Structure 1
């Protein structure tokens, strides 16, 4: 049995395959009591599948060993909120469901004892129910609910019906409910998806306050930098385990990359020298049949084989970043791309937006921000559908990325069919094109419904790029994307010549890419400069100067990458020392 304080979960040489695709190859890791572990990796690398195996190992055929105590309780928070399935219950009743169930069971058993002759059986039932009640801190349960709601800034929602919550608020309520059931391990699959700024901060508070063991799939850079003391990184069928902060893990990867590229360059030079010797010996051997010449040639060929075999291959430092690229067929000189006039949104008799007016120029890059449930997506859809109160410049062609991926992707299509429908000429063109977005040719005939959330978003971005539209409407484009894809998207937006209106709750994405923000507050919309936006974010979410330090870190990392491209290893090492000093400030 695995006891608290030791390894809670131990995975040893685990391998697993889908039909025609290997997912893992001999991966191993341990998860110990009290660790807060971030589970990261590129889109489609198999993170959610590994979570499924941990939660129900009997359902899967895998090689290797998985040690979990059979009595081990796992709590789970899905990336899908399923708010629509909850009816007629308050927030307090929903969170305390298990508590109230046990409380009622204990009361019922006590009432039975008053009249039953089989007291022994009832005493056994009573003790089991009481043990379960005490295990979740029953006597202190109401106080614990209040503390968690306060941490999540949701105290005022305690007596609301669950159906009145926004999707983001309900996600936090789900996290609180699972935490208060006190399982041995809580697993969360992208709990941050679509959360607004305030709710992301609340999720951070809940994670940091939790004393138990957590395993969380996330690509959110804010959470990664603030919430974890262990990293599991799944990449190219292999897994790397790191005890420490995400920011330190990234730094160690960069240092390893500098070291390995220097070694790889020395290897390449040696291989090239050896290849020249082999060519020379072959030339001599064709004109001279002495046995010694043939032996020398064979010896050199064997040396070359050994050199090739030992070439540096590192799945974690040579990660393929997608090459996202947006171009326009019809570039528009700076003019007004769209005007919104007296736009209003009413949902279930509640006014979300009232008499909203704004305009966007043909080269503006704008973030539309606001709390969950304030009508942002409705406004973006209305612009795409060119509703009555929207004026679109006739020279503007729009493309749309939806947070509801089934709205823009035909999930019964294969990737090949979807991109042919989008306008690519033939399968050869699709194969060449789609490799830039992280898909290999083996995936061409895969149905879209079986892709991960991140892969679906990458496919949406690929379709948008094919359209060559000169205005992009993007609803949560970084959601589900791994950090490498997020950075690639930022580069693509920086180089794009058209207009962008994007809904986002990603601090880094907005700070790195946008010209200004449109913020929804009190049913209306106002323009805010990036300077004011950053100041607002600092005041509510960061220590002073955090984003500036983060930006400086990013610039040094970029300089290191450039130094490595120029094989200037001395400069890369000097810059890495400078980077280490900057990281200490974070």
Structure 2
């Protein structure tokens, strides 16, 4: 389907790929992973339209390959008065109407030869996308994704998550040879994530999907492309097995690196001694030869130093800090809050959050979570009461709301109170960025980089109440884990909208769930039971939690250079992976 050989491509400020090669075969479901800003979306753009890009190397795509595409930034056209059925069937209905029109024209035409040719072209196009069965196929896909209730609803009334799934169905139904999706899971609630999983797994064609969703990664793919540090690695098999192979490689490489470092240190010591002797005994050619031999040996040792582009990955060090820690007091109180647009979304909402509570706000797409969070941040309603000692920070899922796209990164941090470019460079390095990024326009950054930038700005403040709207969206898995650690260590209060099961389980004290237009509090135990009953498999999630605990122990063993313990733990981890 696709074959790339020695492909290289650079932006003016950044090298993206260095002689990467990969193949994508018919029928493979391939997850495309890598840290934010590594160039995944750009590579997808190159595949979609190679003529637009000046790259080195070769990119071969099967002749007449039809590509379906779902963007990570889908815009819902609220002015378009079409139903879900009409939207999904748009291409089929258009061709059907064209065929009918040509037939009508042929009934009265003197010369039907040109019309016959047009008719055959339209009919071939209709058959190429399996048009004969499109009505039943639409119904089948809507049923599969649990969206049949939306069939006659206007597209303009859909939530962003529902619209994303409808887009996926629309593209899949035309039967492209290659289906490309760029983070289709962003902002999907638990139910819609499961629906997306069903759609992906039911698709018989070839897929290339950029995703950081740990649940989808573990359940939907039989090939992995991993782009990191300008290089690409491919792996035939499950993501969970690929991740384990990386961990084993990390243990092996760290052990070898320590041995190499010790050997280099010993050799450096001998070189220094020989240099000292050579200075004293200038006439000794024997000592000079020994010195040259040792220097060459050191150069060889340095040259063979292990290159680890897929293990030595730059991870952000996210830290939320506040000097204003409030103990055992109410930070936020909401009393009889209501909000409506065309219809009532939320009504009679009551809850309070203490100054050190970490709370997840969950509920289906389109139920008013973001509106509530924004109203709290703006403190614009009498029903919302903020403690006078609380300072808030807000992370928006609409990244342009909190970041000025026309600013450079440097401008953004000067606005946040930084005084010099050097202090900004030193600060952003901690978040996994290169120094050069300070001169880049925010509009040029990836979705994940923009979210990391929002987190960096929040971290630079002194807020003691964080309002986070889908903070894991667009983040790579390394950044998600770093964010979880930052939340765990934070001393203030957090109210976080999330549909990421892992982040909720790993970080939150309890949840607020939207239910029948109001909000009720539930414990983590009840949340787990709800998830087991309605969405995810209990055994899988419990094994996942055990797996995470073992991975944490391995990480600790590696920090202490206890490689024997790390190897024993990796065997335990392998046993858990087999259960998955």
Residue 148 of structure 2, aligned match among 144, 155, 172:
155
Superposition deviation, residue 547 in structure 1: 2.0
Q: How does 1:315-326 map to 2 (within 5 A)?
A: 315-326=309-320
**2:416 counterpart residue number:** 422
Aligned to 1:195: 188
Give the 3 Å change call, closer, same or farther, for CA 415–216 of structure 1 in structure 2: same
Number of residue pairs aligned between Structure 1 and Structure 2: 578
Q: Give unpaired runs (5+ residues) of structure 2.
A: none
Residues 1:495 and 1:428: Cα distance change in structure 2 (over 3 Å): same
> Which residue of the partner structure matches residue 443 of structure 1?
437
One of 11, 27, 35 as aligned partner of 1:34:
27
Deviation at 1:120, TM superposition (A): 3.1
- What TM-score results when the alignment is normalised by the length of structure 2? 0.98
The offset of 1:533, in angstroms, is 0.4
Given candidates 489, 494, 499, the residue that maps to 2:488 is 494
Give runs of aligned pairs for residues 309-388 of structure 1, distance below 5 A.
Answer: 309-348=303-342, 350-387=343-380, 388=382
1:86 deviates by 5.6
- What whole-Å deviation, never above 9, does each CA across 1:140-185 have from its counterpart, x for those lacking one? 1111111100011111111111111111111111100000011110
| C-alpha contact 1:340 1:389 (8 A) present in aligned 2 | yes
- Equivalent residue of 1:437, what SS? coil
**Which region of structure 1 is more displaced relative to structure 2, 275-284 or 117-126?**
117-126
Query: Whole-Å Cα distance in 1 between the matches of residues 330 and 210 of structure 2?
Result: 41
8 Å CA contact 1:12–1:66 kept in 2: the answer is yes
For residues 537 and 425 of structure 1, the distance between their equivalents in structure 2, rounded to whole angstroms, comes to 47
Candidates 392, 412, 430, aligned match of 2:386: 392
CA distance in 2: counterparts of 1:285 and 1:467, whole angstroms: 57
1:457-472 mapped onto 2 (5 Å cutoff): 457-472=451-466
2:160 is aligned with 1:167: yes
For 1:532 and 1:20, how far apart are their aligned partners in 2? 50
Q: Deviations over 1:7-33 (max 9, x none)?
A: x00010000011131111000100111
Give the whole-Å Cα distance in 1 for the aligned partners of 2:132 and 2:399: 45
Check conservation: 1:424, 1:466, Cα contact below 8 A: no
Task: Please state how far the C-alpha of 1:125 moved relative to its aligned partner.
Answer: 2.2
Match of 1:230 among 223, 231, 243: 223
Match of 1:568 among 557, 562, 572: 562
Q: Could you tell me how far 1:85 is from its partner in structure 2?
A: 5.6
Query: Is 2:85 the counterpart of 1:92?
Result: yes
1:81, distance to aligned residue in structure 2 (A): 2.1
Which residue among 455, 468, 471 is the counterpart of 2:449? 455
1: CA distance, partners of 2:443 / 2:296: 48
**C-alpha contact 1:344 1:356 (8 A) present in aligned 2:** yes
Superposition misfits of 4+ residues, deviation over 4 angstroms: none
Return the alpha-carbon distance in structure 2 between the equivalents of residues 367 and 233 of structure 1.
31
Paired residues of 2:8 and 2:55 also in contact (CA < 8 A): yes
What whole-Å deviation, never above 9, does each CA across 1:46-76 have from its counterpart, x for those lacking one?
A: 1110011000000000000000134111111
Cα distance in 2 for partners of 1:489, 1:403 equals 15
2:289 counterpart of 1:295? yes
**Is 1:403 aligned to residue 397 of structure 2?**
yes
C-alpha displacement of 1:114: 2.3
**Counterpart for residue 97 of structure 2:** 104
Question: Does 1:579 pair with 2:573?
Answer: yes
Shift of 1:577: 0.7
The structural deviation recorded for 1:116 is 2.6
Displacement, 1:467? 0.8
Post-superposition shift, 1:567?
1.7
Name the residue aligned to 1:3. Answer: none
Matched residue, 2:541: 547
Secondary structure of residue in 2 paired with 1:233: strand
* Residues 81 and 171, structure 1, Cα contact 8 Å, conserved in 2: yes
Shift of 1:229: 0.7
SS class of match (2:77):
helix
CA contact (8 A) 1:190 1:218 kept: yes
CA contact (8 A) 1:86 1:162 kept: no
- Deviation larger for 515-524 or 271-280: 271-280
Q: Deviations over 1:361-393 (max 9, x none)?
A: 001000011111111111111111112211111
Q: Distance in 2 between matches of 1:135 and 1:70?
A: 15
The unaligned stretches of length 5 or more in structure 1 are 1-7
Aligned-residue offset at 1:494: 0.4
C-alpha deviation, 1:570, in angstroms = 1.4
The match for 1:4 is none
- Answering whether residue 527 of structure 2 is matched by residue 519 of structure 1, we say no
| Superposition deviation, residue 238 in structure 1 | 0.4
Q: CA deviation at 1:491?
A: 0.2
Q: Aligned with 1:344: secondary structure? A: strand
User: What is residue 122 of structure 2 aligned with on the other side?
Assistant: 129
**TM-score after normalising by structure 1:** 0.97
Structure 1 window deviating more from structure 2 (556-565 vs 474-483): it is 556-565
CA distance in structure 2 between the partners assigned to 1:88 and 1:381 by the alignment: 28
Aligned-pair distance for 1:124?
2.4
CA contact (8 A) 2:106 2:112 kept: yes
Alignment of 1:239-278 (within 5 A): 239-278=232-271
Are the equivalent residues in 1 in contact too, given 2:78–2:156 (CA < 8 A)? Answer: no
